[in-house]
Amino acid sequence: MQAVPSSRPLHSRGAPAPASHRVPTGSGAEDPALTSLPQSGSLSAPPSALAEFDAFAASLRGRTPALFLDYDGTLADIAPRPELAAMPDEARAVVRRLSALCPVAFVSGRDLDDLTAMVAVDGLVYAGSHGFDLRGPDLRRQVGVDYVPDLDAADRRLRDRLDGVAGALVERKRFAIAIHTRQVAQPEKPSVAEAVRAVADAQPRLRMTGGKELFELRPNLPWDKGRAVLALMEALGLEGSGTMPIYLGDDETDEDAFRALTARGEGGGIGIRVMEEPAATAATWSLRDPAEAAAFLGRLADWLAQG
């Protein structure tokens, strides 16, 4: 085990499994509720927000965008280790340019300080640990502070149980623990899943979730990226009819945000899923990969600058 220091024509909208039961794709222990969703061969991606930008722009209906951006897999390519997932300078320049044209916030599973350092654009709103830790100009909010001791205990147990499992990375964040399985040999992945479940079962105040090649333990609270986006909209005064919230994300944890915007009703927000292969999603638009996401944001900046 290694420790990481603190620091997607028509498409299916089948709902993912409840967050407390999600496990990562490729983990060797996929939840049947996820694997029973339509496979990629039976799906097609939502329309491309870049290839069909004019139609996308029309969907804004003259409203000012408010951008909520995931980081890993959305603007930075997935890397073997979290600290290697760097956002290209070109993408950073586009984000900086957009921040002068519309509200911009990052909502990520990363620890807040880590996220802020990786994006490295001053003046933005940052929500780390899937929205449990929020910070921005004149904004500071933390959700689940009372659960930190539970995370401390789970962290110790995970490190004990995964010691000796080659490639397993345990990353402690203030309000979550991520267990990365990307570098774990396939035969060993089910045992990692079993270990994480055992620790989660012993910590009823925590819940087990998953993403791309990772498990996470988080406070067992009704809080996620979707609720964080809604809270940010309220705190930043972005709930009015003149604003169109737009969320870009690439994995299951981002579906919470897509669903939260969809639940606001017609015109309540736009979800854009970044995905190389079609997947079940509540998003209405798609982009292929982080490079295309950056190109889309550049096009959006040009469009906004033109007034």
Give catalytic residues, as residue numbers.
Answer: 70
Among 132, 53, 183, residue whose Cα is nearest residue 170: 183
CB 133 within 8 A of CB 175: yes
Q: For residue 140, give the amino acid letter.
A: R
CB 223 within 8 A of CB 209: no
Residue reference for tokens 């539970």: 150
Rg, Å, the chain Cα set: 19
Burial of 96 (0-12, 13-18, 19+ CB in 10 A): middle
Distance CA 24, CA 30 (A): 6
Question: What are the phi and psi torsion angles at 51 (to 5°)?
Answer: -65, -30
Residue reference for tokens 């479940």: 197
Among 259, 223, 256, 261, residue whose Cα is nearest residue 245: 261
How many other C-beta atoms are found inside a 10 Å radius of the C-beta of residue 141? Answer: 15
Distance CA 157, CA 217 (A): 12
